[in-house]
Amino acid sequence: RRVLFRSRAHSLLMVIDIQERLAPSMAEPERIIKNTAIVMKGAARLGVPILVTQQYPRGLGATVPELAGLAPAGATLDKVHFSCAADPAVLARIEGARRDQIVICGIETHICVLQTALQLVEKGYRVSVVTDAVGSRRNADSEIAFGRLAKSGVDLVTTEMVLFEWLGRAATPEFKELQALVK
């Protein structure tokens, strides 16, 4: 049975490679960083574990400060594989979280995000890519990647879709806080 609804109790948020020397070369880096920050704040508020990766930080720099400050202690892992699922330490952290729904923000859509999502689907995870919180240098690369992801069973979602599915209902303190994030 295919689960279509994202649940905070089953989700893990992955923030892939939004780094100081890489992010500025993306199309619309401000959008990617802003929406990723919103998803990270929502995840933290709702108890969704967060994992942040950095591709070869010696060359590409650390996670951008706007997001690094939102990452829980010990949540950031360095990697050299394009796919997070191909990196033994990152995969061990994903498996250790014991969550079957992986929500992905990050860069670049057609490289690290795509390869991670496809490999996680192969491993049996339910994967969602937050389309307004990912990007590539060229928008055309992202568009092609979105098509391939959708054909492979990855859900294409938006920041608000994720937050409000995790939330599940209004009339809660969390609702007011999350609503304020997206206004």
Residues designated catalytic: 17, 79, 112
Burial string for 43-75 (b: 16+ CB within 10 Å, else e) reads bebbebbbbbbbbebeeeeebbeebbebbeeeb
